[in-house]
């Protein structure tokens, strides 16, 4: 976040701490529990949230060199993102044009993509170079059988794609500034292209994908659920909220913020004392963790609304001289709090929701980012506020 914004957020946090207050949403928000368990709702979300709009894919440092690629499934669409020999990042449906096998798996570096099934070969720009059997496929127009292109973008050190093929006449580059709104300035100021990937972990909790996001959107639960892990380091139920279109930001103070209080304005550095959680609509969180970046992305299961896949990646500063043990400790804390405290409780909540005993839940005014997230979902689904 820019310097003036950092100071303004820091000042507001100190004021809230003195008054024992926090930023508030305009009103409480009631959400139907069916939003977490209903199959029709899940199908609508897949179409409107995961196929029709830009999806955040992580930091561009995941693809530092030509030929670097990531292949994964985005809500039922196998996607391939690759940095071309010209340095440009492109995205494709990871579906061979012969009989549909994925041409790449996981992540890595390639000079070309060779389909594992019958060996058709594609270049880094998705062009079909050859079919391996010249007679069987004699006369096949190679130019018409390249990988299906998806629109994508690399912006402010972030990667995006849309998991729906590029339409005729549509630009191949997504306009992500329009989507990011005001948080784009924060990302530009953080210089995210200087944070290489440190680790990637994936889990499959038995929760709806929205639970995985919800759990990061308020600091209200920290003194309760996390009292044995991270609670001693945070000021509970205190945050500064900002909305940016369908995205939002919540800044939460660590108790160490007290060390800044007595300093004159020009010496105040809040960044090492304030965790900023960016909710990137619909399914991702980019968390400024004081000296590094943590990213969570949640993907709904293809069929079952009560299951999802969650990825946590940690990016550490390129310039840091801290040993790996320091970053390993950070990774371990994130895994212990989220995967051993938040998600297991979420699994019990999912069961409660599916029991049919309660019809709705209520989000408080002290949970403004949670309220914003769910109103954004409702508006993106065309369900009204």
DSSP category for residue 167: P
d(CA 52, CA 47): 6
Question: Does 342 engage in binding with Fe ion (CB under 5 A)?
Answer: yes
Question: Does 214 engage in binding with Fe ion (CB under 5 A)?
Answer: no
State the number of binding residues for ligand FES (CB under 6 A).
10
Q: How far is the CB of 136 from ligand FES (least distance, A)?
A: 11
Distances (CA, A) of 82 to 47, 103, 192: 24, 12, 19
d(CA 38, CA 305): 7
Question: Does 367 engage in binding with Fe ion (CB under 5 A)?
Answer: no
CB atoms closer than 10 angstroms to residue 324: 11
For residues 120-139, which are near ligand FES according to CB under 6 A?
Answer: 120
Question: Does 166 engage in binding with ligand FES (CB under 6 A)?
Answer: no
Question: From Fe ion, ligand FES, none, which one binds at residue 203 (CB under 5 to 8 Å depending on kind)?
Answer: none
Q: Please, which residue, 117 or 326, has the CB nearer to ligand FES?
A: 117
Binding string, 193-232, against ligand FES, x = CB under 6 A? ----------------------------------------
Q: How far is the CB of 35 from Fe ion (least distance, A)?
A: 20
Stretch near ligand FES under the rule CB under 6 A, chosen from 97-105, 153-161, 349-357, 372-380: 97-105
d(CA 88, CA 144): 22
Question: From Fe ion, ligand FES, none, which one binds at residue 342 (CB under 5 to 8 Å depending on kind)?
Answer: Fe ion
d(CA 355, CA 66): 50
Closest CA to 302 of 167, 163, 134: 163
Question: From Fe ion, ligand FES, none, which one binds at residue 99 (CB under 5 to 8 Å depending on kind)?
Answer: ligand FES
DSSP category for residue 290: S
Question: Does 118 engage in binding with ligand FES (CB under 6 A)?
Answer: yes
What is the end-to-end Cα distance of the chain in Å, rounded?
Answer: 29
d(CA 131, CA 98): 8
Applying CB under 6 A, which residues contact ligand FES?
96, 98-101, 115, 117-120
């Amino acid at each position: 976040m820019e310097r003036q914004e950092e100071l303004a957020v820091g000042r507001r946090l100190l004021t809230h701490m003195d008054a024992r207050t926090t930023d508030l949403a305009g009103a409480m928000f009631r959400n139907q529990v069916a939003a977490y368990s209903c199959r029709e709702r899940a199908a609508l979300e897949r179409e409107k949230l995961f196929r029709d709009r830009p999806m955040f894919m992580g930091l561009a440092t995941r693809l530092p060199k030509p030929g670097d690629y990531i292949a994964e499934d985005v809500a039922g669409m196998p996607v391939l993102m690759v940095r071309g020999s010209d340095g440009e990042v492109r995205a494709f449906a990871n579906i061979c044009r012969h009989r549909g096998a994925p041409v790449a798996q996981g992540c890595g570096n390639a000079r070309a993509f060779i389909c594992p099934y019958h060996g058709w070969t594609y270049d880094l720009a998705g062009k079909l170079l050859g079919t391996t059997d010249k007679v069987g496929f004699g006369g096949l127009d190679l130019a018409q059988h390249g990988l299906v292109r998806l629109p994508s973008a690399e912006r402010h050190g972030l990667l995006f794609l849309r998991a729906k093929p590029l339409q005729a006449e549509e630009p191949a580059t997504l306009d992500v500034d329009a989507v990011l709104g005001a948080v784009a300035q924060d990302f530009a100021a953080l210089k995210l292209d200087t944070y290489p990937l440190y680790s990637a972990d994936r889990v499959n909790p038995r929760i709806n994908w929205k639970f995985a996001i919800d759990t990061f959107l308020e600091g209200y639960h920290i003194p309760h659920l996390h009292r044995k892990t991270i609670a001693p380091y945070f000021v509970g139920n205190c945050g500064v909220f900002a909305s940016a279109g369908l995205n939002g930001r919540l800044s939460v103070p660590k108790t160490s913020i007290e060390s800044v209080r007595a300093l004159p304005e020009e010496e105040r550095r809040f960044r090492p004392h304030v965790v900023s959680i960016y909710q990137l609509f619909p399914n991702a969180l980019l968390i400024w963790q004081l000296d590094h970046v943590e990213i969570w992305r949640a993907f709904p299961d293809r069929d079952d609304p009560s299951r999802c896949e969650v990825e946590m990646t940690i990016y550490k500063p390129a310039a840091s001289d801290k040993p790996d043990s320091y970053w390993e400790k950070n990774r371990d804390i994130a895994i212990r709090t989220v995967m051993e405290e938040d998600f297991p409780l979420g699994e019990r909540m999912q069961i409660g929701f599916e029991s049919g005993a309660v019809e709705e839940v209520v989000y408080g005014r002290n949970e403004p980012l949670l309220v914003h997230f769910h109103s954004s979902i409702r508006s993106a689904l065309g369900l009204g506020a």
